[in-house]
Structures are given as structure tokens and as C-alpha cells.
């Protein structure tokens, strides 16, 4: 079964969004948020974004490129932040979307840092550096707080994949994100992480 996807991206990564839209057999909702919702009521803002921009979508694809990081400034990231917040929001008349982060090729080395030795468990873990290259709404829900030294896929709400892997199996990764919506980990999601 095909899932309807909304793509959250920076203008600099438009070519990847267009590739997904035009070259892949993926159902899309193409209503990017370009104008802020004129309100200070967070619940109202989320409902407007869900109703006007994300309606009918069940998975939000977040393209992670060079310009996607929180360090680009709150003003620059205001639309991506709102799109992901609305995607994570589970409220009246809407359900939370699954979140699929796709790391674009120019970011592979910045995000996937290889393995490291862990003193706590004396094992090795993959070092995935999403915090400085994404926004908090993604990184917090990828690395949900726990008391362990690592995270399994079941302990993450957000799904992360390299662009090349996504291109080979797009429906598989979209389905992984979709399934998270009803998984136990969905109860730990934060819409507005600190």
C-alpha cells in the first residue's frame, strides 16, 4: 500500500525533492509551508498547518542537506521547524506522521562518522551526528532520551537513511516511518523539544 508523503526541504535541495516527485512512484502532498501562520496560539498554528499543508499525508520526508541544520538560525529554519512540529503533533482532528530523514550525499561524511568504542558497555556503536546538521524536532526524536549508551531502531521515532539507499528501496523506508506512528515509541515523541 502506498503512503502519502509530504516533503520538508530547503530550497537549496529542490533538485532532490523534484527527483522524488517526478522520478519515483511515490504519492505526494505538495503544499510546502511558505508563509507563517499569523497566530501565537501553538495549537491553532499546528491545526492550520496540518489542515492546509499536511492533510492526508501519513509520512513526512525531511531532506537533510547542507542548509538543514538548526545552526542556520531560527528564522531561516522557521518553515522546516513548523512542518516537522505539525508532522509530530498528535491532536484533535489529526494524527502524527511518521518522520523519514533522508541524508543527502553531500552530508554523508558529516553525519555518518563511523564506529566508536564505548567505555560504558565496552562495545562499539555507530556514531551518527544528527544534532548539529538537523533541527531539534528531528534530532530529539531520533535520539529520544534513554539511560543506555545506544539506541535500537525500536527506541527511535525518526527513521534515518542515506539518499542512495532510499533511491533503491523508497517504499521500504517510507513504510518503516509509517509503522512508527503506532509503535510504543510514539508515546515518547516531543513536538517542541527543549
- Averages of pLDDT over runs of 10 residues in the chain (194 residues) are 87 93 83 71 78 84 92 71 88 86 97 94 93 93 92 95 97 96 95 85
Give the pLDDT score at 75.
57
Give the pLDDT score at 2.
81
pTM, entire model = 0.90
Helix, strand, or coil (residue 34): coil
Give the pLDDT score at 37.
74
Give the pLDDT score at 137.
94
Give the pLDDT score at 29.
72
Torsion of CA 75, 9, 142, 93, to 10 degrees: 90
Task: Report yes or no: 70 and 135 within 8 Å, Cβ to Cβ.
Answer: yes
Q: How far, in Å, CA of 127 to CA of 145, rounded?
A: 16
Amino acid at each position: 500500500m502506498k503512503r502519502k508523503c509530504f516533503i520538508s526541504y530547503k530550497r537549496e535541495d529542490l533538485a532532490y525533492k523534484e527527483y522524488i516527485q517526478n522520478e519515483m512512484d511515490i504519492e505526494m502532498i505538495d503544499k510546502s509551508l511558505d508563509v507563517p501562520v499569523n497566530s501565537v496560539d501553538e495549537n491553532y498554528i499546528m491545526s492550520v498547518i496540518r489542515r492546509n499543508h499536511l492533510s492526508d499525508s501519513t509520512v513526512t520526508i525531511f531532506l537533510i542537506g547542507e542548509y538543514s541544520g538548526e545552526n542556520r538560525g531560527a528564522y531561516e529554519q522557521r518553515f522546516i521547524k513548523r512542518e516537522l512540529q505539525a508532522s509530530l503533533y498528535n491532536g484533535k482532528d489529526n494524527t502524527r506522521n511518521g518522520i523519514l530523514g533522508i541524508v543527502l550525499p553531500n552530508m554523508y561524511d558529516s553525519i555518518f562518522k563511523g564506529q566508536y568504542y564505548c567505555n560504558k558497555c565496552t562495545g562499539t556503536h555507530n556514531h551518527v551526528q544528527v544534532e548539529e546538521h538537523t533541527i531539534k524536532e528531528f534530532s530529539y526524536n531520533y535520539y529520544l532520551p534513554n539511560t543506555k549508551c545506544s539506541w535500537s531502531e525500536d527506541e527511535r521515532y525518526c527513521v534515518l537513511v542515506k539518499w542512495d539507499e532510499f533511491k533503491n528501496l523508497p517504499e521500504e523506508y517510507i513504510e518503516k516511518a509509517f509503522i512508527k506512528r503506532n509503535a510504543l515509541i510514539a508515546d515518547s515523541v516531543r513536538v517542541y523539544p527543549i
